[in-house]
A and B are shown apart, each in its own frame.
Chain A
Amino acid sequence: MVPPKKSKKKKNDSKQLKKTKNKKKGKPKSIRPPVPLENGAAIDSDWWNSFWTKNSSTPDSNVPSDEEEGFKYFFRVSKKTFEYICSLVREDLISRPPSGLINIEGRLLSVEKQVAIALRRLASGESQVSVGASFGVGQSTVSQVTWRFIEALEERGKHHLSWPGSSRMEKIKSEFELSFGLPNCCGAIDATHIVMTLPAVQTSDDWCDQENNFSMFLQGIVDHEKRFLDIVTGWPGGMTVSRLFKFSGFYELCKSGDRMNGDIRRLSEGADIREYIVGGVDYPLLPWLITPYEDDDDLSAAMLNFNKMHEATRSVAVKAFSVLKGSWRILNKVMWRPDKRKLPSIVLVCCLLHNIVIDCGDSLHPDVALSSHHDSGYTGQRCKQVDPLGQLLRDNLAKYSLH
């Protein structure tokens, strides 16, 4: 029984060998030689030189002439911050010969080039084809690299987005009071729509928002530096902002007393001011979420003054979203049929990058145009929910605002 099988195997083997030989003759690249890295140095800079020479001479007049500024213009971050981001994701993105991504010349992509491709894709919101063309890589490479980067930063950059501890919170509160006059304010909350198109089979009223766009919500609470402290994304744009808020973990934590439970500030008038955040008219008035007085009411001077202070504080959140959407324009453009499971990760990574820029002491290049409002075309739907304790707190703050 066994010997004939062996002979068969031998025959098969010999056939296979012949086949491979033929293949080798036909396609000499079938067995790849060890692929060299684009640059042997620890930090690759060749990609930048080629990118800069290729893209600085474009008819786009906004491109700064200075190389450093040009870097910031294209990637929204300074070279220093860029290196830091590379260090965060290096372990996940480093190309290893069997599975590494290869560029057109057959060389493995360096981590730097991968990060640059991903950042450019997120920052510009341009198509994968055009981003690939600017780097000399294909569309599929841009797609793969961007998603690998998102997955890597989603895990490695978590520490850049967290609810502050008590000491840091005290700093935030004092900064808010110093800047806008509201005592014991922990942050500002706002929400924006990430607009997208959906295939016909996925179109649902749930995703269709008040402006008849298909959209996904992003809600964020920011500190005085426009840093995101807490975000929620993934909920469909068809719901109201107040509903979105009530589905958030922040609401649950506050409701159960596990958040916004820090030191109570006693005002000179004897009123106690607990920790709270400020939100727009589309949020409910709660003991820990203060909304402005309605404009149509007969507002006292104190109330009007409070509303001004409130709006100034809340505008930090509005600006933060404007900066976010202006910096990472993939969020600002109408996404074409995104994977709704992946979109929240893209949004999160953009928020992480936004925070990394702030944490690294970086700033947005002034030439990067920002829209006047992050959610242009959307008008807030007033939430009529009023909690008596929230009302009391707001009245106390209004009284205090006159001082």
Chain B
Amino acid sequence: MLCSISASTSTATSSSSSGRSNSNWLEKLRSSKGFPSSTDLDLEQFLALPQNHNHPVPPDNLEPSKHPQTHHPTDQLLQNPTQQNPFFTIVTNVLAELFCMGDSSLKIQPGKKCSRKQTIPKFCLPSDPPSDFSNNTANYGGISDNAPAPSKTDSASPVSDDNSGVGLGKELADHQQVKLVENVICIEEGEVEEEEEEEEMGYGNLSGFSRTEVTVIDTSFASWKFDKMLFRKKNVWKVRDKRGQFMSSGKKKKRKASSVDSENVRGGLHRVKKPKTFNGQRGLSKKGSDGAFKDEYHLNDKSRTASRKISDSFSKALKKKQSTLSLENGGSSVVLIKNIPTGKKSGTSSPRSCPKSIQRQVKV
């Protein structure tokens, strides 16, 4: 929800800040939503003004600012809840809803600012993630490797460069990154905890006991020879069956799993983005020249069939669209689509998902 708001805000602010010619649709929108049409109106002044509208306004200025010591009208408002107006209640309600502040009227106390950090953080996925989000996630591995987790959380504290929508978008992306980091850390910690729990389950509460592996021969048992784990704490001795392969394999599995997880997280989208030709290269390194040729051959075959399928399906879809669009009444968008060339050649070259190498192979 917040993200969608921020996206719209960013577009609005960017359009206004760019100083482009005021279009009619913007004025219409402003008037329909109850905003004043003048462009030079300060947003803070606007917020301070009592307005009668039901739509929640993106609380840009309520985002924690860089300099908390500077006094804003909103701060004054927050400090003087007696001056509450309907818009203020709306904003606080929205904030309360977003940041789980509970009853906003109870939370806001005179002379005290509400906490900028969420007490119970919510994970919010944006409907349209900002363009730099994927880049940030791609760079995430380096961050997680080098920087410790707490510093990331500190960096995640919403201290943005400016209050612009782009900044908010970045913030959101960073925020989400941090959320991801936190999640990963939580998983890792959870694994460790699980392991400890398993240990406790296996050996009971044996903290503070020394452990000794013993090989015992006892002729009273059917199998004379067996291994035991001996625990000692002063005069208290406890014997447990030696944890065998099951437990150790579990550990190994866990390590593997954790390593895979971390790789997945660190690798981010790299793994997904790996081209199929890499398999062929692997084969080359492993199987030698003959195997590599075979692999490449298979790959070429596969890529040919795949690209054929894609091109066929794409051309079919285009044809269908053409036929449907030709029946519809012409609009601006329709005109644009109509202008797209629909030849077979363009059809084969159009799917962007196909790597260029594959396309070349198809051409050959």
Binding site for B on A (CB under 8 A): 1, 158, 161-163, 204-207, 230-236, 238-239, 243, 247-250, 252-253, 259, 340-341, 344-345, 347-348
Residues of A within 8 A of B237 (CB): 239, 243, 247
A234 engages B214 (CB within 8 Å): yes
CA separation between A158 and B222, bound complex, in Å?
A: 11
Instruction: Among B214, B215, B219, B230, point to the contact of A231 (Cβ < 8 A).
Output: B219
21 contacts across the A-B interface (CB closer than 8 A): A1-B290, A206-B210, A206-B230, A207-B212, A230-B220, A231-B217, A231-B218, A231-B219, A234-B215, A234-B217, A247-B237, A247-B239, A248-B218, A248-B220, A249-B220, A250-B218, A340-B214, A341-B215, A344-B215, A344-B217, A345-B225
A344 engages B232 (CB within 8 Å): no
B218 engages A232 (CB within 8 Å): yes
A234 engages B216 (CB within 8 Å): yes
Given A238-B232, A239-B237, are A252 and B220 also a contact pair (CB < 8 Å)?
A: yes
Instruction: Report the minimal beta-carbon distance from B232 to chain A, rounded to whole angstroms.
Output: 5
Instruction: Report the minimal beta-carbon distance from B294 to chain A, rounded to whole angstroms.
Output: 12
B239 and chain A: residue at smallest CB distance: A247
A233 engages B210 (CB within 8 Å): no
Residues of A within 8 A of B290 (CB): 1
**Any chain A CB within 8 A of the CB of B123?**
no
CA separation between A291 and B221, bound complex, in Å?
A: 25
Interface residues of B, count at CB 8 A: 18
A251 and chain B: residue at smallest CB distance: B220
A347 and chain B: residue at smallest CB distance: B217
Could you give, for residues 204-242 of chain B, a 1 whenever the CB lies within 8 Å of some chain A CB and a 0 otherwise? 000000101011111111001100001010000101000
B216 engages A162 (CB within 8 Å): no
B230 engages A344 (CB within 8 Å): no
Q: Given contact pairs A158-B224, A344-B216, enumerate 16 new A-B contacts (beta carbons under 8 Å).
A: A161-B219, A205-B210, A205-B232, A230-B219, A231-B218, A232-B217, A234-B215, A235-B216, A235-B230, A243-B237, A249-B221, A253-B220, A340-B215, A341-B215, A344-B215, A347-B217
Residues of B within 8 A of A344 (CB): 215-217, 225
B212 engages A249 (CB within 8 Å): no
CA separation between A235 and B239, bound complex, in Å?
A: 11
CA separation between A161 and B219, bound complex, in Å?
A: 8
B210 engages A204 (CB within 8 Å): yes
Instruction: Report the minimal beta-carbon distance from B215 to chain A, rounded to whole angstroms.
Output: 4
B217 engages A233 (CB within 8 Å): yes
Residues of A within 8 A of B217 (CB): 231-234, 344-345, 347-348
Residues of B within 8 A of A248 (CB): 218, 220
A236 engages B220 (CB within 8 Å): no
CA separation between A268 and B221, bound complex, in Å?
A: 37
A206 and chain B: residue at smallest CB distance: B212
Among B210, B224, B239, residue most surrounded by chain A Cβ atoms (within 10 Å):
B224
Given A1-B290, A247-B239, A345-B225, are A236 and B219 also a contact pair (CB < 8 Å)?
A: no
CA separation between A234 and B221, bound complex, in Å?
A: 14
Residues of A within 8 A of B221 (CB): 249
CA separation between A6 and B80, bound complex, in Å?
A: 93
Instruction: Report the minimal beta-carbon distance from B334 to chain A, rounded to whole angstroms.
Output: 58
CA separation between A231 and B219, bound complex, in Å?
A: 6
CA separation between A310 and B168, bound complex, in Å?
A: 91
Instruction: Report the minimal beta-carbon distance from A227 to chain B, rounded to whole angstroms.
Output: 13
CA separation between A163 and B232, bound complex, in Å?
A: 31
A343 and chain B: residue at smallest CB distance: B215
Residues of B within 8 A of A249 (CB): 218-221
B56-73, CB < 8 A from A: none
B212 engages A236 (CB within 8 Å): yes
A202 and chain B: residue at smallest CB distance: B212
Residues of B within 8 A of A230 (CB): 219-220
CA separation between A252 and B220, bound complex, in Å?
A: 9
Residues of A within 8 A of B219 (CB): 161-163, 230-232, 249
B220 engages A232 (CB within 8 Å): yes
Instruction: Report the minimal beta-carbon distance from A144 to chain B, rounded to whole angstroms.
Output: 20
CA separation between A250 and B232, bound complex, in Å?
A: 22
